[in-house]
Every structure is written in C-alpha cells, then in structure tokens.
A and B are shown apart, each in its own frame.
Chain A
C-alpha cells in the first residue's frame, strides 16, 4: 500500500490545524506486522473523534489480537477535503497513511444522527461506493474472498439502535457494546478470508450468527439482540491511551467508571440502551488513574459515565485521587453533575478553586412535566443544589431544558422561566451582598427529539411552527436580567428527529443532502436547513411529517427488529405512566422495576446494580 504522507504533507501548509493529520502521537501503535488490518474511522475531525472512547477502545482491542493491526482515520476538515479531492488523494489512515480501501475492515462509528452525511462523505472520500449493494454486488453469487475489492464496512455506535436510515451503506452493523463482538467479528472474517473460494454470502451468514450483528442486506425480519459486555467490571479498557498533539475536545485521560444509568428518564436513549448498570471497582479506577497519568503525562483525569456521581463509591474514589494528585497540578473532573446537594459536594471535591461553572439538567420546568419524563428531581432539589453551589463558591450555572416534551402545556413552558427565576433568587440569597452581581444563570433550551428504544419512541416531535410559538412564550415570561437564554436550533433538532425515527427510506435523503453539500451538520456554522429541504423535496420526503407524526402503538416501528433487552411491555407501561404523570423508581436504589434487561433465569429477576463482591455499600 502506498504511504500517502509525502503527498499529504505537501497540503498541510494550506490546511487549518495541520496537527490533525500528522499522527505519531505518543502511545499510538505503528506499522505492526499483521496479516489482518482494520481501520477505525470516526466521521468527524480529529479533535472530536480522538476524544471518542469507542475509537480508542476498538483500536486498543484489535491491536492486541495476534496477527491483527488497527489504525485510526478521521474526516479531514472541509478545507483539507477539498485539497485532497483536487489532488486525487483518498482518505487515509493515520498510522500507515494508507488509503482506507487497502484494509480488510473499515469500522465506522455512528456517534449520533447528525453524523449521517459525514458517513457518506467518509465513504466517498475513501473512494468506496456508498452503498453496500454496490460494493458487495454479488447477484451472480460469484464474489469470493479473492475477488472482493472492498474492505468489509462495519458500522456501530450509540445511534445504531435504529440502524435503518444508514443500513444501506453498511455491510454489517454492530448493535450494542463492541468489546467482545469485535473480536468475534474479526475471527470470523479472518477465517473466511483464509478459506479458499469463500463466498461473500457465507461470510455474511456467519457474521449474522454473532450476537449483536445486524446484516442489513438480509432484511429486517431477523431479530437482533443488543450486545452487552459482561466483563465490564473485571477489566479496564482501553489499556493504553494515545496522547494527542492536537488539542481535542476532551483533552484528558478518560476512565470509564461505570456503564449504564438506571435513573430511567423516559426521553433518554442511553439510559435505556446501556442497561444494566455496571460499576468498575474503586481500586481498579484509582489504580488506572494513577498509572494512566504516569504513562501519558496528562494533567487531568476525567471519570466518565452517564452519571458518574451515581457510582456507589464515588466519594471514596474522589478523595483518594485528590490525595494522590495533591501538589502535582493534576486535576480530576466529572462530566456531569447530579442535581442535588450530593452532586454539588462531589463537584466541590474536584473543583478546588477552579469554580468556573456548574451544569444541571432539570429538563422540564414544572414538577408535573418532570414526573412525566421521570426526571426524579424536585424544585427543592434544584434550589438546594444551587444554594449549596453558591455557598461553595460557584457564581455561574447552566441549566438545560427541553421544550416539546410529550404532554407539555403552555404552563409548563412558562414554568421554565419560573424555575430559573427561583434558582436565581436562591443563588442571590446564598451569597454575600457584594457578590450578588456576579451571579449568572444561563438557560440552554433544546427541542425534544424522540429516540428509538425509549418509552417516548412513539411520540412525534413538536412541529416547528409550534416550537416558535413556545419559544415566544418563554421569551416573554420575564426572566431576571442575570439569566441568559440560548436555543439549540430547532431545525437541527428536526433533522435529528427525522434521522432518528425513520426507516430505510431516509437513506436516500441522507445521500441527497450530502450531494447538496451537507457535511459536518453537527457544527452550528456548517448546518444549512435549506440543503435538507432541497434534498427532502428531491426524495419526496416531508420533513415536518417525518419528524412530527406519532407512531401508533400497534404499528410496527422501523427499528422493531432491534432488541435492546428492554421489553416492549415495559416501554408501553412507562409510556402509560408518563401520560398519568406517575414516576418509576431508580432500580439501583429501589426495587427492580422489571424492564427486562436482567431478567435471566439465574438472577431470579433481580440484579439491580452489578458490582464486584465486597464493593457494595451496606
């Protein structure tokens, strides 16, 4: 394979941030001799993709498999992509600077819905036909492992729980957690490559047997069960961490301390699709943090998970890490704050004097609506948390809300302003008179996007016109001067909803939008609604209807064949509870509510929180 570096380097003088493309970062793995080569590509620029845990995890795992080598690839920014196209240079892997077409397998992360057009851009820049059927054209049944020209294109990631919109572009899609799945996939692929005359169909059939693997070309009749990594608590992965040169969005050592969240917020896809909750033992975490800092030289370690402060030993972990990094200039961070006094105390433990701002997500303004979405926090919780934060030295906080949640009324919208104003008063009361002017509260409001696999999966999105009216309501609701209000572009949320909840028919829309120039749609400055409107018109798709129409309970959903492990009955029941405003308790701290994930014979139906023996709080 040709090493493209000399030709790529020739372009760097004209590219923004050349460090995105230089590779050779500390602890990256290079030019390993291998008979099987995989490249893991992330459909965004280096600083976003290299911050993604999945890429690092898969890279680490496959590089450790005997006879295998893994490399990484990221999408170049638009300026570099244009230069590459001008010179006829294809997308390249970082380590070997090889064209992606030279690998046995191309793994592509599907991080979120808006990455869809970037995935097309990635395939296109790599020089691959976009659609799996064009690559695997085997009508005559003649394609075998000797004549196949393209890498096996595998997708997977958080947005794959409805794989249909992107299904035609992938040969196989991994549903769920990939730590073990990737090893099985590689083993089967290698075995097939080594079989003389192996037919393509044989490969796909054998891959379809792996739990969690969906083969889109076999259609959506076959049910696919989400893969869960059972060994999460036993081992800390990735074992090594790459130290980037280019500043990434999460430029620190990340340690995944827990997987899954059982709080049960009804809008939250991750909360439903990463169950059950699994914790890594505190000793393992502390040791990994110390060792990780020593071998990478990072000055910050982040304890990541969906809700890190819910780890049953979080306080102990934070105190020990505080102690071992004292005086070294190394800090510890938590990605999110739990909305109560304990959350603030934990944030206080790691923040030191760097009290720049706290972020809370009450999501809804009224207690009624918070009950509907099962966000089990009360106004008092929030006010107490704010008070505690201000007493602890914070002066700024950010509150996240959603608009257009199922059953939302005008009163609920106005209640967002009331809650924010109450938070401001609580903050003012908690600080000395002379400090009051420093208090700033910023509200960040986004339109609710219904996600597959959640109790709200049947619900449509609020139509754009109604969104505008409700935004108007909130604007006029009389926010205190110190409170700023920011909107997440509703048109972006609409496109997100279309891509999240439609079937295979929107694959055409994705390709058309890409042709219209839509790439890096998740970047505010790059999103252009017009491109999507034109594309939708071309494909005969009504964006408004695709986003806003409800699904009937009795009609098949486009993602019906994907089993997340949460039972249909549970989702229906949760939807019913939502309509009645009834809350469901968190199974980590109360009884099992029988969502279906842990209902195995040997657990007797009760396995609330998976931790190793001796780690449980008494």
Chain B
C-alpha cells in the first residue's frame, strides 16, 4: 500500500487526461446512436448523414480559419465578412461581368488575402489591437458586400463550381465534406508537426518568450492573419458552390458559430489548445445535435439554444477539469 501511490497515480492521471480529451467525441457518438434509435427512418439514412456532414463544410473551414490567429493569440473578427466578400466577388464577376468561374474564384481568394494584408498592416505595423481592427474591417466589408450585391441575391453562378463543390459525391457524401476533412488533416499536421506551427503556438502562449527566443513575432502574426483571410475566402467559395448564389448574410452570419466551434474544439482532443480535429468534432457534434432535435420535433429556435448551451457547458466543464487537476497536483 505504502509504496504504490506513485504507480497508482500515473494510470489514473492518464485516465483523467484521456477522459478529458475524448469526452466530446464520445458524447457525439452517443448522440448519433440515440437519435438513430429514436428516428431510424429519418435520422439513420444515408441522405440525412450526407446532408448533415456536408452542409457544415463552410462553417468548418471558417472555424479552421479563426483557429490560426487564435493560436497566435489574435482574434480575427473579419473572417465572416471576408467570406461574404469572397462569395460576392465570385458571384458578381461570374454572373454580371461574365468572368470565367475559376478566374472569379481566384479573384475572390485574392480579394480575401488583400483583406488579410490590410488587417496585418494595421495591427503589426501601426500597432492597433487586432480585435478592434478586424471588428472595424468586418463591419466595413459588410457595407462593401451590400454595395456590390445591391442588397439582393446574385444568382446563376456557373454550374461547374456547383459541380466541383456539391454535385460530385464520394461514398454518397458531397465532395465538399472531403475537402473539409482534407483541410483538417493539413491544418493538424501544420500546427503539430511543422516548425511554423510550433512557433505560432509559442507566439500565442507567450509573445515575450517568443520574441526573446528570436522569433519574428510580427511576421508570424501577419502570416496568421493572412492565412485566416485566405481560408475565409475558401469558405466564401464553398458557400457560392453550395447554393449557386451569393447573398448579403449567409457567409457573414457564420462568424459567431465559427468562433463557437473553435472554442468548443479547444476543449477536446488537445484540451486547452485550438486544434483542427477538435474543431471538426465540435462542428459534427453541433450539427448532429441540432438535426436530431429538429427531427424529434423541437422548434427551430433550439438551434441557437443548443449552440450556445453546448459551448458554455463544454468550456465550463473543461475549465472545471483543469482546476481539479491543478488542485490535485498541488495536494500531491
């Protein structure tokens, strides 16, 4: 008895750590099973799964976008409007000016990166807080979108974009879902297994240590803001590809859900860190919960309720586990 406390503590510590890491995926699987049992005819169908998973791809990409500056310690509140701007640019160029769809997509991505460049210049060179810069930029771009689209929906975007985003299916699921998965994998490897990813993490965890260790903190933060803008542009292209049109709000309203998914994702897989797989799990968890609840007949306002409650519960629980762990450490 007296010689085992150390040996006993290690497995229990690992167990607690695993429980924290895999709680959200486990709850997601439980939700899938419960809804499948309750609604076998509507929930447990290929059509439903395919719709659930693919419908959230633009949200997933936007959540991955905000994850990059968040890792480096910056909030980018302009990603929603940047996605909207990208979508509107693609639609207007293609529909109203007859520009080839792939050139239009390229233009949408370039415009997005330009937004990132301006954001970085204002934050890094001038030194204004990113939160303020990107909040202003987001609002400003919303105005630009309304001006470009003349407050209406721009429809009739080339079918080849729609084909490349949703019409093509793999295993019955629209290809955009697989794009999202691939992007998650790339982000994961980039953040965990490249020097750049580790440096971004250090910049976010302690700007002072990063700077004194010789990292180019300004360049890294600028790179993060430009990457998030580029990914927001991709999310905008996916929105256009999914609906064949661009409107005033469907991309920009994804901003807050994207942050919710990023923060919920930071409670799982690598608790305490923004991570790509965590983001994927939380997006899937959220859409599963909402779809299931809707099929059970609960009214549609439950969507926001579920989103908000899941985020708060996830972060509170993760915080509580973190505190409990520290207390235990101290008492050892």
Q: Do they bind each other?
A: no
Write the residues of chain A forming the contact surface with B, with a CB cutoff of 8 angstroms: none
Chain B positions near chain A (C-beta within 8 angstroms): none
